[in-house]
Chains A and B, each alone.
Chain A
Amino acid sequence: QSALTQPASVSGSPGQSITISCTGTSSDVGSYNLVSWYQQHPGKAPKLMIYEDSERPSGVSNRFSASKSGNTASLTISGLQPEDEADYYCCSYASSSTLVFGGGTKLTVL
């Protein structure tokens, strides 16, 4: 159960687009369509942004999208807004009723 690999930080200016990668292995990200993404503001509980690789829950802005290729999943935020500044985590099913998170990425909106 090794943590998925995310960049520690990314940044972008308002209106721009950014992409956060999440690299796993053929035992987790690459084997199942079960990657989810979470946004966490300081002092708050995480919020589901994407599930099943690329599905967006109702109520989540369509500025958030996701994809996957092989063992790497990606979250893209378009039209960056100040309120998007937060920590973002990916998570994948990893067999035998276990899940694994990425280390998290701090998004700074410049």
Chain B
Amino acid sequence: GAVVSQHPSRVICKSGTSVKIECRSLDFQATTMFWYRQFPKQSLMLMATSNEGSKATYEQGVEKDKFLINHASLTLSTLTVTSAHPEDSSFYICSARKTVNQPQHFGDGTRLSIL
């Protein structure tokens, strides 16, 4: 149980395009979803916290206009990297949890490469 699906797993696109990444909780309702970014040989860095039906809360230093997050339902959150540039290339990971004191369950991640 507690499966989180992330799609796509790999994206390669040109600089200036926008990329949407989906995160779905397949067998539970996720009141909260999180978006992380992981640089090579570094830990996961939280980008934003997304609660269903409300605006996402972004961590300091994360541009909300650059990384658009939508959490329209209890099973789906999307991250859109707008006008992506090579420095946005990274591994993006989502997680979802049922309630505050429940563990987070992670998706497989999306490798984003901007040429």
Q: Do A and B bind each other?
A: no
B-side residues, CB < 8 A to A, are none
Measuring CB to CB, which residues of chain A are less than 8 angstroms from any residue of chain B?
A: none
